[in-house]
Amino acid sequence: MATTITWNIAQLETAPSDEGLTDVVKTAHWTVNAVDSTTVSGQTTEYTAGAYGSVGFGEPDPAAFVPYADVTLSGAIDWVKASLGDEQVATIESGLVNNIAQQKNPPIVVLPLPWASN
Compute the distance between CA of residue 90 and CA of residue 14 in angstroms, rounded to an integer: 27
Q: Give the closest residue to 47 by CA, choosing from 102, 108, 93, 107.
A: 102
Of 10-19, 38-47, 92-101, give the lowest mean pLDDT range: 38-47
Contact 65, 75 (CB under 8 A): no
List pLDDT tens digits, range 72-97.
999 999 999 999 999 999 999 999 99
Contact 75, 25 (CB under 8 A): no
pTM: 0.86
